[in-house]
Amino acid sequence: MEKQHLHKFYQKNRTERIEALAAANIISEEDKLALTDHLALPEETANHMIENQIATYQLPYGVGLNFLIDGKEYAVPMAMEEPSVIAAASSAAKIISQAGGFETTIQERTMIGQIVLKDVPDLEAAKQVVLDHTEDILQKANEAHPSIVKRGGGAKAVEARPIAADDQVQTPDFLVVHLHIETLEAMGANIIDTMAEAIKPYLESLTNGAALMGILSNYATECLATARCQIPVSLLARADYSGEEVRDRIIEACQIAIVDPYRATTHNKGIMNGIDAVVLATGNDFRSIEAGAHAYAARSGQYRSLTNWTKAENGDLVGTLTIPLAIGTVGGSISIHPGAKFSHKLLGNPSAKELESIIVSVGLGQNFSAIKALVTEGIQKGHMGLHAKSLAISAGAKGEQVDVVTEKLKQSKNMNLATAKEILEQLPN
């Protein structure tokens, strides 16, 4: 990556940005053509992807720059509708890269399939019978999807969890059997669902119960990704705050998000701004990642911050983020959607583990940027500056008018649509 070509990337126009990425050896000539064509989704592909398809719906697609993750540089693809997210990610990544970059730890990628059994006469006895027949259960599960076994993955372990009746909300007892499945490069929903459904009759016969359902759990607690960064206070100082003050205020901002669910929800939303954008750009299932992240945030019984910011012994600021990341590099829409295919190529066709490293780092960087802005100049200064452009366009500004209206709007007392329209009307035709 020849980074000098990326200088003031945000000030370039779209064509210049594409040229800059090519000059920096991040994309090829062929990629330039794909981007010029806006990574268009062919009608036939779109029609096969969903039911009742009538059009394609586009989102802006950008790159988060300056990411240094486990010693490797990345331009990270991000698809999203909200202004300021990519700017914030890139700015965080720049500071963190000066501090040595992100370091990540990725757990072995094991997914969980659940088979729920009801009307089980003796839960504890049934649990024991299930565990005693672990090898048979694994064999039957693997026979249902032999190709993943041939690749080196498949069902590896069985757990059983009796869930006692809850008289308060009047639910009966259940026995929930978990299959732990290695899905390798795939997110694995279809592999897991196939296996979970295939072993239902056998589990019914073992437990004398009746299967209610078999499906994956999106609470992927056996597929955790962690990112860490350590930032010296010298990189944190702002005009009105010393580096130590910024560090301490970031730590306090995290502490309030650990204890207050109202704050934690917004804090975590900021993390998901970056995570969803990369998950979506890489053709992965963002609903699954969202559901898993929020369940993990509530694992103590209370919904809390997903990140943790603390002070190192030498006074540096240390940030960590751990999150379930059941993403894939194959399967779903990944190999058929032009945008998804492009994103994987842009990242150097990473393995699923490497992609987890990238995504969790973006989440941590996004959180750093958001809370740093919140506890110093406030979030509106940067956010509304970028939002001004959306207002100018909403007011009807076209071509060169967009920048003129945006600049005047930034200086106006009331940055809203009505003011944007007034400014536009006053411009010479």
Residues in region 120-179 near ligand NDP by CB under 6 A: 147-148, 151
| CB within 8 Å of 413: residues ≥ 6 apart | none
- Among 213, 143, 208, 226, which Cα is nearest to 176's? 213
186 binds ligand NDP (CB under 6 A): yes
Catalytic pick among 70, 73, 82, 290: 82
Note if 173 is an active site residue: no
Contact with ligand NDP (CB under 6 A) among 66, 226, 288, 366? 288
Tell me the CA distances in angstroms from 4 to 22, 25, 101, one per residue in order. 12, 11, 18
218 binds ligand NDP (CB under 6 A): yes
Return the structure tokens found at 422: 């007034």
Closer residue to ligand NDP (CB): 330 or 384: 330
83 binds ligand NDP (CB under 6 A): no
Q: Which SS3 state, helix, strand or coil, does residue 346 take?
A: helix
What amino acid is encoded at 396 in this protein?
G
Shortest separation between residue 194's beta carbon and ligand NDP, angstroms? 8
51 binds ligand NDP (CB under 6 A): no
270 binds ligand NDP (CB under 6 A): no
Q: Which residue stretch of 156-164, 184-192, 195-203, 270-278 sits at the interface with ligand NDP (rule: CB under 6 A)?
A: 184-192
Q: Is 323 exposed, middle or buried (0-12, 13-18, 19+ CB in 10 A)?
A: buried
Closer residue to ligand NDP (CB): 71 or 152: 152
Note if 285 is an active site residue: yes
Catalytic pick among 383, 387, 389, 408: 383
Q: Look at the block and give the residue holding tokens 């329209």.
A: 421
114 binds ligand NDP (CB under 6 A): no
Spatial separation of the C-alpha atoms in residues 259 and 303, rounded to whole Å = 8
Spatial separation of the C-alpha atoms in residues 373 and 85, rounded to whole Å = 12
Contact with ligand NDP (CB under 6 A) among 248, 285, 354, 356? 285
> Could you please report the per-residue DSSP string of 115-178?
EEEES-S-HHHHHHHHHHTHHHHHHHHHHHSHHHHHTT-EEEEEEEEEE--BTTTTB--EEEEE
Shortest separation between residue 60's beta carbon and ligand NDP, angstroms? 22
Note if 82 is an active site residue: yes
190 binds ligand NDP (CB under 6 A): yes
Contact with ligand NDP (CB under 6 A) among 1, 46, 99, 330? 330
Catalytic pick among 38, 48, 269, 398: 269
187 binds ligand NDP (CB under 6 A): yes
Name the phi and psi angles at 333, rounded to 5: -95, 0
The length of the chain is: 429
Residues of this chain that interact with ligand NDP (CB under 6 A) are 147-148, 151, 183-191, 193, 216, 218, 285, 288, 328, 330-332
Name the residues annotated as catalytic. 82, 269, 285, 383
